[in-house]
Amino acid sequence: MQEFSDREILDLFSKEDTRNYAFNMLVRQYQQRLYWHIRKMVIVHDDADDILQNVFIKAYKGLIAFREDSKIYTWLYKIATNECITFLNNKKKRFFLPIVDVEAQLSRHIENDPRMSGDRIQMKLQQAILTLPEKQRLVFNMKYFDEMKYEEMSEILGTSVGALKASYHHAVKKIEEFIRSH
């Protein structure tokens, strides 16, 4: 699939007659990467699909006013991250569950979901990641799976590079400990 530059997408989106075409290009270009970012946070496929749809709805509404302070992907990633956090917080409130119970529920889902492929070690890693505090989980997923630079993560999360490095270090240590003890 051909990748389009931010400038190409924004130029096409700015014109009424090519707006839908530009948006479809944007969706095709970023939906898979955003889906997997969301899925690693919320685990459940249907929830990830719903959140992804919300991300693109917000993107469509906001793209006309996009100021180009960042790349489109960074902007979309920030929207997706915020939608994940909102979803998880609402899930805790809706079911009056402490985060530990939500994580246990998601962990059981990993074991039983036929769409979750991978061997035993991959399953154990996913379960370990779920034990992390939300911010550490986000940082770990962004660095380990998405291979994102700390500077990009800083822009998305609004956190200093030093704090992100510390969060990642703590996350790695907790994951190692979980895998050793389980």
Residue 96: pLDDT band with limits 50, 70, 90: low
Residue 109: pLDDT band with limits 50, 70, 90: low
For the cut 60, the answer to whether the pLDDT of residue 110 exceeds it is: no
In this predicted structure, what is the pLDDT of residue 62?
Answer: 95
In this predicted structure, what is the pLDDT of residue 100?
Answer: 47
Range 99-121 average pLDDT = 56
- The model carries a pTM of 0.79
- Give the separation between CA 144 and CA 127, rounded to whole angstroms: 15
Range 145-151 average pLDDT = 92
Give Cα separations from 163 to 41, 136, 150, 172 (angstroms).
20, 10, 10, 14
Domain extent listing, the chain: 1-96, 117-182
Domain 117-182 class in CATH: mainly alpha
111 vs 126: which has the higher pLDDT: 126
In this predicted structure, what is the pLDDT of residue 10?
Answer: 94
Range 13-33 average pLDDT = 96
In this predicted structure, what is the pLDDT of residue 113?
Answer: 58
Given CATH 2.40.128.20, say whether it is the number of domain 1-96: no
Q: What is the 3-state secondary structure (H, E, C) of 116-152?
A: CCCCHHHHHHHHHHHCCCHHHHHHHHHHHHCCCCHHH
In this predicted structure, what is the pLDDT of residue 123?
Answer: 75
For the cut 60, the answer to whether the pLDDT of residue 24 exceeds it is: yes
DSSP string computed for the chain: -----HHHHHHHHTSGGGHHHHHHHHHHHHHHHHHHHHHHHH--HHHHHHHHHHHHHHHHHHHTT---SS-HHHHHHHHHHHHHHHHHHHHHHHTT--HHHHHHHHHHHHHH-TT----HHHHHHHHHHHTS-HHHHHHHIIIIIS---HHHHHHHHT--HHHHHHHHHHHHHHHHHHHHH-
